[in-house]
Structure 1
């Protein structure tokens, strides 16, 4: 069994930050944490303290324990396509990014 971090950057559609955050904190975070293999999830807001451009205003980090982390992503997609997970129209889906990291 491996340990992984799933790192997600995201943003809201223009003017929809309050709706986006209400949905993410009230619904989506719990839906992702309910996936098999996901053991914890946390969200963060970007703060501009370095000169580097920030990839997105919001970051979510999920801890995963699984044989194959791709299976977690596959289940997330399956549930999403089956309507078992919600999606908010406040999400700027085109700019959302997901990365997976393995713990050493």
Structure 2
């Protein structure tokens, strides 16, 4: 079982760019995040009514969840990630790193 997770809520920059956003996120962004140490799986969930954020869940399997968070932020700052203007950045995506404390 993974030791932590990253929960991300994001939006396309406009409704007419939703398909472009989903394609970029799944084919470019998720693989780039999964290339970082500790990130072992990713899922994107799409709102069934077409409103609200897209939610991504990345599982993290390492002993230092805080270190994985620092590595992700460093990759974002240093240009490791290929960003797309199809993702809304104002406001930016909401991100939460979480530690697994119970599971079945």
Q: Same fold (TM over 0.5)?
A: yes
1:2-41 correspondence runs (5 A): 3-14=3-14, 15-41=16-42
TM-score, scaled relative to structure 1: 0.83
1:1-104 alignment runs, 5 A limit: 3-14=3-14, 15-48=16-49, 56-93=52-89, 94-104=91-101
The RMSD of aligned alpha carbons is: 1.7
Q: Secondary structure at the match of 1:9?
A: strand
Moved over 3 A (4+): none
Could you say which residue in structure 2 is the equivalent of 1:51? none
Structure 2 spans left out of the alignment, 5+ residues? none
Structure with greater strand share of residues: 1
Task: Using the TM superposition, give the Cα deviation of residue 62 of structure 1 relative to its aligned residue in structure 2, in angstroms.
Answer: 0.6
The normalised TM-score by structure 2 is: 0.83
